[in-house]
Amino acid sequence: MDKPNVLYATSRPARHRDIALQAAPADVRVVMCSSDDPGELLRHLPDADFLISERALTIDAKLLEAAGRLRLIQRIGRLTHDIDMRETARRGIRVCYLPVERCAKVAEHAMMQMLMLQRGYRRLERLVRTPSDREPARCDANTFAYNWAGADVKPILGAVVGIVGFGEIGAELSLRLQPFGCQVLYHKRSRLPEHAETALGVRYEALDDMLGKSDVVVILLPHSGQTEGSVDSRFIAGMKRGAMLVATGASTALNEFEVAEAYRSGAIGGVATDGWNYEPVEPDNPLVRLADDPESNVVFTPHVAAGSGVVDWTARRAEYANIVRALRGDPLLNERMAPD
């Protein structure tokens, strides 16, 4: 019996393709192709029983017309707004999504950065370690000295959070912000459809409008010639004065000197970054020098938001899990249903 054909569409480089191939089950045949090349996709689709779509790939009626054998589309990531769900339902093609673990980890890291900046964690820790003029008293249910140092603590509850660059990490972050009652704004080159915005609890804004409204601005931009150094004094001038700046995207997006100057001037109330222009960080980095002052509201980490960085091909087996389930006739995981 012939093996079923899996078409894996990705724009990622050869190293990642090789890892995905290693993770494939032995009882399927996998063909790798570029999601940036519609012609290549159309050549392979007629023979595909299953399609794995990694990152952005618009799957419209034209593409599906060529997929006469297709049974299942497995999207790597949460975002499926670029798949024509009505057309897949009409053709009996099932659609599933797979949250990306590394994106979830980065979103968690961004949450940590935001909470630490809003609370002014470094100053709070210093206040604990600084002797007080008040006489300590043993605490019980009726005796305690709440906020004995008189710290000004801002909650994230109800804050306006602006996300610049909204992809899988932005989707993961927006879902984590929902329980905090945050108003989440976003800006990207191509706006999401309304149904995707509603599901994620986000609202699109022009960049200048979003910056002027946000209490916290989160930078999730990718590496590119256009994004390098784009978070500079001009960018910060559009932000609400005293807002927090959190960078968990491309390490080259920050103009580190101008961001440091903006913090010193009070234009921003705090800055957190996980990535750096040069790594390991140079000793005279202007941002790092901010941390010399224990009062500085900064959160710096050594490019670890996505975890340990160890690439294990066995973890990628999850990308094929629904294909294995479909072949066995088992229920699928994270199936996305067509709208009514």
pLDDT for residue 311: 63
List pLDDT tens digits, range 238-262. 999 999 999 999 889 999 999 999 9
Could you tell me which residues are beta bridge partners of residue 268? 243
What is the C-alpha separation between 252 and 67, in angstroms, rounded?
Answer: 40
pLDDT for residue 1: 56
Q: Assign 55 a pLDDT band (cuts: 50, 70, 90).
A: confident
List pLDDT tens digits, range 70-100. 999 999 999 999 999 999 999 999 999 999 9
Average pLDDT over residues 175-200: 95
Q: Which ranges in the chain belong to alpha helices (H)?
A: 14-22, 38-44, 61-65, 85-90, 101-119, 121-129, 168-177, 194-200, 207-213, 233-237, 256-265, 321-328
Q: Assign 38 a pLDDT band (cuts: 50, 70, 90).
A: confident
Helix, strand, or coil here: 86?
helix
What is the C-alpha separation between 176 and 157, in angstroms, rounded?
Answer: 12
Closest-CA residue to 78 (of 310, 250, 339, 333): 333
Q: Cβ–Cβ contacts within 10 Å for residue 178, how many?
A: 12
Q: Assign 286 a pLDDT band (cuts: 50, 70, 90).
A: very high
Could you tell me which residues are beta bridge partners of residue 335? 96
Average pLDDT over residues 109-136: 95
The token pair at 42 is 């159309």
Q: Assign 202 a pLDDT band (cuts: 50, 70, 90).
A: very high
pLDDT for residue 269: 97
Q: Are strands 335-336 and 94-98 parallel, antiparallel or unpaired?
A: antiparallel
What is the C-alpha separation between 152 and 28, in angstroms, rounded?
Answer: 59
Q: Assign 9 a pLDDT band (cuts: 50, 70, 90).
A: very high
What is the C-alpha separation between 194 and 203, in angstroms, rounded?
Answer: 9
pLDDT for residue 12: 85
- Whole-number mean pLDDT of the chain? 94
What is the C-alpha separation between 240 and 211, in angstroms, rounded?
Answer: 7
Q: What domains are there in the chain, each with its CATH number? A: 5-101+310-336 (3.40.50.720), 103-300 (3.40.50.720)
What is the C-alpha separation between 276 and 257, in angstroms, rounded?
Answer: 12
Closest-CA residue to 201 (of 192, 212, 213): 192
Helix, strand, or coil here: 204?
strand
End-to-end CA distance of the chain: give it in Å, rounded.
38
pLDDT for residue 16: 86
